[in-house]
Amino acid sequence: MPKVLVVFAHPAFHRSRVNRALLATAKATAGVTVHDLYETYPDFLIDVRDEQKLLEEHEAVVIQHPFFWYSSPALVKEWLDLVLEYRWAYGEGGDKLRGKILAQAISAGGPEDAYRREGSNFFTVRELLAPYEQTARLCGMGYAEAFAVHGANHIDSAELTGWTQRYGDWLSALRDGSAPLWLAAPH
Ligand SMILES: Cc1cc2nc3c(=O)[nH]c(=O)nc-3n(C[C@H](O)[C@H](O)[C@H](O)COP(=O)(O)O)c2cc1C
């Protein structure tokens, strides 16, 4: 059974360079399933049952997307709003995601040193991703250290190759249960 589900979201994939390269790595990594949200739901009409079934079949879920206004593209929010149902993902009897790992792989235009108190974006990436980390906590999931490509609009092809190799390693660690976590899954 594949273990890692990459839920991918990029509203302008034809213009993507970084996520296109990362996605090719995800597709080539053993034990990883790639699911492209904008390709599957260009009209935003999400099939909740299909999505829940996919989640149930995997042990780790990576949401891969470009960082847009310090968050994700809109379809990721719609997906979270609809798919993580009460009594399925959380609340009474809502234990379908319990014990799984949630993670995010983002590309950000801003350089790494912009994402700190002294930098232009003030907040760290982890702070900005807090709603996702807390979503994982509420659903009884662990939350892995994010994979973040910085300076995404100014990466040369040699650097991009390095990022794709590191992404493959990061996905493999998630698959093998050895990825560093920001939040451990409850026992
Ligand atoms: C609508 C929009 C919002 C963006 N917001 C941010 C942001 O908040 N922080 C950031 O570092 N980069 C931001 N960017 C830059 C993108 O993250 C960057 O272009 C993207 O990661 C490049 O990846 P790609 O080659 O796969 O498109 C934004 C870009 C767009 C189009």
- Range of 132's domain? 4-183
Q: Under 8 Å CB-to-CB from 119, ≥6 apart: which residues?
A: 110, 113
107 lines ligand 1 (CB under 6 A): yes
In the structure, what pLDDT confidence band is assigned to residue 1 with cuts at 50, 70 and 90?
Answer: very low
Structural domain tally of the chain? 1
CATH of the domain at 149: 3.40.50.360
| Beta-carbon contacts of residue 66 (< 8 Å; ≥ 6 apart) | 10, 16, 18, 19, 73, 106, 107, 108, 152
- Residue 107 alpha carbon, nearest atom of ligand 1: 21
pLDDT digits (tens, 9 = 90+) for 137-173: 999 999 999 999 999 999 999 999 999 999 999 999 9
Q: What is the pLDDT of residues 174-183, one digit of tens each?
A: 999 999 999 9
Give the integer Cα–Cα distance in Å for 74 and 170: 25
Q: 107, 112, 121, 125: which to mutate for ligand 1, most atoms within 8 A of CB?
A: 107
Token pair of 99 as six digits: 């014990």
Is the Cβ atom of 110 under 6 angstroms away from ligand 1?
yes
